Amino acid sequence: MHGPEGQVISVGDVVLLKTDSTSRMFWKLAKVKELIESKDVVIRAAKICVLNSGKGRVTELRRPVQQLVPLELRLSTDTEVVVPRVSEDERDEEDETRQRPRRTAAVIG
């Protein structure tokens, strides 16, 4: 089905969930799980899976196609996104050991 600007949306596509109340930078990423046809056999909505950033849970939503902006990414149906759980102690250790690489100008100076 065609999304905004005539782009094609299909099952497995990665899309941005358009929200009028927030800027584009804060739109959430989602994966199209199923396309929903209307009675006149036109695809007007889709079921999407969205990852809640705070809790790490996946939420299934139903949204109109006009609110979905497709990206040039596609996930296969057998691909599963796994978010590793990191304890706060491990996160603190990572922050202490991780350093930004020095710029060449800073090294020369």
- Does 104 reside within a domain? no
Domain span at residue 15 reads 4-75
The pLDDT-based confidence of 60 (bands split at 50, 70, 90) is: very high
Write the CA distances from 21 to 62, 65, 69, integer angstroms.
Answer: 18, 18, 16
How many domains is the chain built from? 1
The domain that contains 20 carries what CATH number?
A: 2.30.30.30
Tokens 């994966």 sit at which residue?
Answer: 31
Return the higher-pLDDT residue of 27 and 4: 27
- Does 83 reside within a domain? no
Taking Cα atoms as reference points, which of 98, 21, 100 lies closest to residue 67? 21
Evaluate if residue 37 carries a pLDDT over 70: yes
E runs forming strands in the chain:
13-17, 28-37, 43-51, 58-64, 68-74
Please compute Rg for the chain using Cα positions: 19
Evaluate if residue 34 carries a pLDDT over 80: yes
